[in-house]
A and B are shown apart, each in its own frame.
Chain A
Amino acid sequence: MQSHFWEALLYGMPVHVNTLIMVAVALVILLSITRLLTSSISIRPNRLQIFAEMLYDFCRSITFSSAGKRGDTFLYYVGSVFFFVLTCNLLGQFPLKIFELPHGELMAPTGDINVPAALAVGSVIMYFFFGLKAKGLKYFKHYLSPLPDLMAGQSLPVKITYATFFWPFILLNIAEDLTRPGSLMIRLFCNIFVGEILTGVAHSASHYLLPIAVMGIELFVAVVQAYIFAMLTNIYISLLSEDHDHHEDEHDASHTPNEDAKVPSLAVA
């Protein structure tokens, strides 16, 4: 594992310079594409604007599927995460070996565990932020999750019995805040890292046809993993910022035949 990275010290902390280079490249690509697509916005859209609106509709279909119109408040984060992860994943499929580095080699930035870890921590911060914004201090009530529903309308001995037997759920709910980012991080990192290893193994077996097939699979995996990361982030945020008092209204509103109900179908595969 040591030979993969070009390690350097920044303020006494080790950083992986090749990962930083690739993240910077991904950001430059994303920003320039965004500038290009939004350069000429008008009432009568040209092709670039239609393409940009298509991408926007796709991101909106992710948040709309679980949160409805409420999803527009966190659409910017989910969409940004989707396109950043997608760009990072796809960067690994470029012929990066032609660039010589003093140590290590360039690879997909999400194949370094620090990038998925940072993204997962970002997801946790966002669902805490939106949960606290939507519910205030009532947000912390969800840590007690099965108990209030069970205890509603019961007599005191029954309540005490429930509390005696179901208190470990509180620990589980707290542990969920750790397992959620952990699973997000491991899923993204392992998929991309396994892809890099698989391409290497295929390349050592045969130089021509086999790596092409594996890289074709990798393109699919890159899109699906970016989609899953955005989808799970969206599910966590919408689940934890759901206010039960307004839930019924939104449920009715999502079934009215307005223009927002027409969500484009998910064209992933």
Chain B
Amino acid sequence: MEAATTYTIGGPLAMAIATIGPGIGIGLAAAAFFNATARQPEVRGPLQGVFFAAAGLIELMALLGFITLFL
């Protein structure tokens, strides 16, 4: 840890910007999931798996932003 650590604004800023889109995206997906479950409660089981898979796909965008922290 004695190695000189340089802090730059670019990486954290990229991370911060990269979280905006996936946040909105997962929010929309969750809202649609809740609406569908409220209208038709029996659809919850099959939809839950699809929702988590979609959330995982959307989440990848934020994780790519996280990777830019190390570049």
Contact = CB atoms under 8 A, between A and B. Distances in A.
Range class of the A interface residue count: 20 to 34
Nearest to A65: B49
A178 interface: no
A190 B22 CA distance: 15
B17 interface: no
Contacts of A231: 49, 52-53, 56
Contacts of B56: 187, 224-225, 228, 231-232
Interface in A16-67: 61-62, 65
Interface in A179-213: 183, 186-187, 190-191, 194
Contacts of A227: 49, 52
B24 interface: no
B67 A228 contact: no
A191 B63 contact: yes
Contacts of A228: 52-53, 55-56
A269 interface: yes
A268 B52 contact: yes
B14 to A, nearest CB: 14
Nearest to B46: A65
Given A194-B66, A266-B45, A268-B48, A183 B60 contact: yes
A265 interface: yes
A268 B67 CA distance: 28
B49 A190 contact: no
Interface of A: 1, 3, 61-62, 65, 183, 186-187, 190-191, 194, 224-225, 227-228, 231-232, 235, 265-266, 268-269
Interface of B: 1, 44-46, 48-50, 52-53, 55-57, 59-60, 63-64, 66-67, 70
